[in-house]
Structure 1
């Protein structure tokens, strides 16, 4: 495939064909002397260790001293360089429930011969959206989404680029994986979620994610879009859905009453996302020119959330590899991997991620077969989510799937 080729200087910067990684929270490794051996026993080469993460309540099935971790706000798990943040109004919070856990966990994993990539969440930040509400996405009805920082806001871009650069500069790591590096919106499993969002048709979720904050209004106006008219169109299109008519419009937002504004809106938002990614990746490259940079993404530029969409050509031109979440139907996942593998230049990996937690909906009985399909589709590397949340049965499925992947 086109992703094969000599690895660039720096070791961690190019695709490591056949590598297997598992996701961990820093508290999974910190304080558990058996964690590193458990991961190497799965056949994994590397760990994607959370350095900056959102609010979460997580099981810790294998840890010797704790079973449930409650992280009550978005935070970083490493020791920030305060000189980097001096004078900045928007700053990350340090996790008081696990201070320095990233450093402890990374060192233990590296001592066992595992590579460590820092996994950082960017525009999904409940704490910052609450403390600084002007940074949050605002929908057409004026409702703010504190969990979703707006990618058009210059202060959000500065914060995310600074955070990504700081994470890249951590001495314990070989690469970075950036989650929610782009538009975040309505579709979010919020704490004690009561929206029934999964029942809403995709166009409704898309319309509820369109942002009308001050920064986005400027972007729309620059694109020649009448912002108030667009807001009224979005409201009118959503009213039938709120009234119970979930079939009120067709397969995309263009059929939801936005003509002729739909295409300019999508183009304006894609341009914002491209600029956001470019600034973040450039900041990482400035901090560590040789480091591997991977973005959780999807080839549809209109996708939102943890894996925001990006045109593959633009993503690869910015020097970032792609991590594709293949948690749904495997025909779809394999086709997406194959399409990106055909476009990826030498030196930039296409990575496939599988959900390996049965209690979260993972198909662990199919995990080995799915891993083989993704390798045959052209994936350079494989990821399993999530070794820290995994039960014994989940871990056995990961071990078997890793063996199947390597046998191809």
Structure 2
């Protein structure tokens, strides 16, 4: 079973390459590092960072040095994070990983990008009222799709083995933005409807699938207005599939086809460059329909699906993997992320039992979250757990 730890480029730069990679090999005992190449805005606490405890990450920043020639003439382009200065963390990581015989993976947040959404609102999802969700990019937009393919290409020059594709799909209303506020009760249906994209490109894709997109948008507009106007209506039970005489479900299915085709394009681009792409599905089976995540279709479009195995017990991890099998994703096509920290894990034995369960089920890769956000004792826990299960 292959193993890796997810990390930020700033972990590497703050600690220095030798201590950083030494911790990964000597303490955690893993065979790879999964370094964030593009990441969203965040504020985090770093328990063992020698330079700082608190850090803000820049909105939608790249943690490599983009190739200007690749992006010339394109609407959307990555911008190197100010935090990396004149360094190229991926160049540094590639050299050190190669010397140690480790694999380098790129953890890439594709479409949750505050900077690009605010700079290019025409590329952001558009709700039924014409409001743009500026923290995201729409997967149906041609400029966004070109940006995705370009990001994949950027990683090839670093000898990256695999791209962990996070946020390669639509996002709901509450995906996350600082000072996000909801003072009236919206209800789950209102929230779901407010998260749907009705931009020109999404409606065109739906019409191509035989869906009356403009009628669906009008029906969603009416439904949201009715629920916003009345608290009882907002919290009243109902079914999304009943809206627009059932056409809403077909509209969402068309959105899923958009996501699947984009994932397939990204995976094909990666394969042509000698890399593989893992589609990161954070929610798990049964949770991604409104985000355009069709696991059965994605399993045919990409080499691997990666998911969160965050759980207290090995039995719960087993259940998570089994649920994917019911949705057409075999254990052999999965990578699973575990947390060795106290929230999920109280001992090396607990973590070892989870790793052993994944190995028994035939899951080929396990990753651990997250290098900079855990104590060094949690890195030791990884090493002990992997030592128990080898």
TM bucket by the smaller chain? 0.7 to 0.9
Instruction: Label 1:233 to 1:206 Cα distance change in 2 as closer, same or farther (>3 A).
Output: same
Which region of structure 1 is more displaced relative to structure 2, 73-82 or 291-300? 291-300
Aligned counterpart, 1:215: 201
Aligned equivalents of 1:253, 1:381: Cα separation in 2:
36
Deviation at 1:49, TM superposition (A): 0.5
Q: Structure 1 residues 274, 319: closer, same or farther in 2, change over 3 A?
A: closer
Superposed CA deviations along residues 239-293 of structure 1, whole A, max 9, x for unmatched, are: 437754564225x5225x344113311221121112211221122222x1x3232
Equivalent-residue separation in structure 1 for 2:380 and 2:362 (angstroms): 25
Counterpart-to-counterpart distance in 2, 1:249 and 1:125: 33
- Alignment gaps of 5+ in structure 1: 1-17
Pair 1:69-2:55 in alignment = yes
Which is helix-richer, 1 or 2? 2
Cα pair 1:30 1:102 within 8 Å, conserved: no
Q: For 1:51-107, what per-residue CA distance to the aligned partner results, in whole angstroms no more than 9, with x for missing partners? A: 111122233322222332222221111121211111112111111111422322343
Which position in structure 1 is the counterpart of 2:309? 326
> Given the two structures, how large is their TM-score scaled by the length of structure 2?
0.85
DSSP-derived class of the 1:119 partner: strand
Instruction: Kindly report the root-mean-square deviation, in angstroms, between the aligned alpha carbons of the 2 structures.
Output: 3.0
SS in structure 2 opposite 1:390? coil
Deviation (angstroms), 1:224:
3.5
Is structure 2 residue 300 aligned with structure 1 residue 317?
yes
1:80 is paired with a residue of what secondary structure? Answer: coil
Once residues 118 and 244 of structure 1 are traced to their aligned partners in structure 2, the CA distance between those partners, rounded to angstroms, is 45
Secondary structure in 1 aligned to 2:246? coil
- Within 2, Cα distance between the matches of 1:200 and 1:400? 47
Secondary structure at the aligned position of 2:151 is classed as helix
Q: Which residue number in structure 1 is paired with residue 9 of structure 2?
A: 26
- Identify the residue that residue 60 of structure 1 maps to in structure 2: 46
Unaligned runs of 5+ residues in structure 2 are none
Could you tell me which of 145, 155, 164 is aligned with 2:133? Answer: 145
For the 8 Å contact 1:241–1:248, the answer to whether it is kept is: no
Equivalent in the alignment of 2:79: 93
Is residue 2:25 matched to residue 1:37?
no
Partner SS for 2:164: strand
1:304 Cα offset (Å): 5.9
Distance 1:75 1:185 in 2: 22
Query: Could you tell me whether the CA contact under 8 Å between 2:295 and 2:329 is conserved in 1?
Result: no
Would you say 1:193 and 2:180 are equivalent positions? yes
* Residue of structure 2 in register with 1:123 after alignment: 111
Deviates more, 1:130-139 or 1:76-85: 76-85
Residues 350-407 of structure 1: per-residue CA shift (max 9 Å, x gap)? 111123444xxx3122544443444444322111111111024433443444345x25
> Which deviations, in whole Å up to 9, do the C-alpha atoms of 1:114-134 show, x marking residues without a partner?
211111111111111000000
CA distance in 2, matches of 1:267, 1:228: 16
Partner Cα separation in structure 1 for residue 157 and residue 39 of structure 2: 16
Shift of 1:143: 2.2
Cα pair distance change 1:235/1:157, threshold 3 Å: same
Q: 1:119–1:178: 8 Å Cα contact kept in structure 2?
A: yes
The TM-score, its normalising length taken from structure 1, stands at 0.81
Matching residue of 1:226? 212
Bigger shift: residues 26-35 or 394-403:
394-403
Cα offset, 1:155, TM superposition: 0.8
User: Does the C-alpha gap of structure 1 residues 166 and 50 become closer, same or farther in structure 2, counting only changes over 3 Å?
Assistant: same
Name which structure has the greater RCO, CA cutoff 8 Å, separation 6+.
1
- Residues 24-75 of structure 1, C-alpha deviation per residue, up to 9 Å, x if partnerless? 0011112423111111211211111011111222333222223322222211
The 1:23/1:216 distance shift into structure 2, 3 A limit, reads: same
Q: 1: distance between equivalents of 2:143 and 2:361?
A: 40
How far apart in 1 are the matches of 2:62 and 2:6? 16
Partner Cα separation in structure 2 for residue 68 and residue 107 of structure 1: 28
CA contact (8 A) 2:123 2:137 kept: yes
Deviation at 1:336, TM superposition (A): 4.0
Question: How many positions carry a matched residue from both structures?
Answer: 376
Distance 1:385 1:212, change over 3 A: same
Q: 1:235 to 1:355 in 2, by over 3 A?
A: farther
SS in 2 for 1:138: coil
Tell me if 1:284 matches 2:270. yes
Cα distance in 2 between the residues matched to 1:369 and 1:196: 43
Structure 2: how far apart are the matches of 1:165 and 1:127?
A: 21
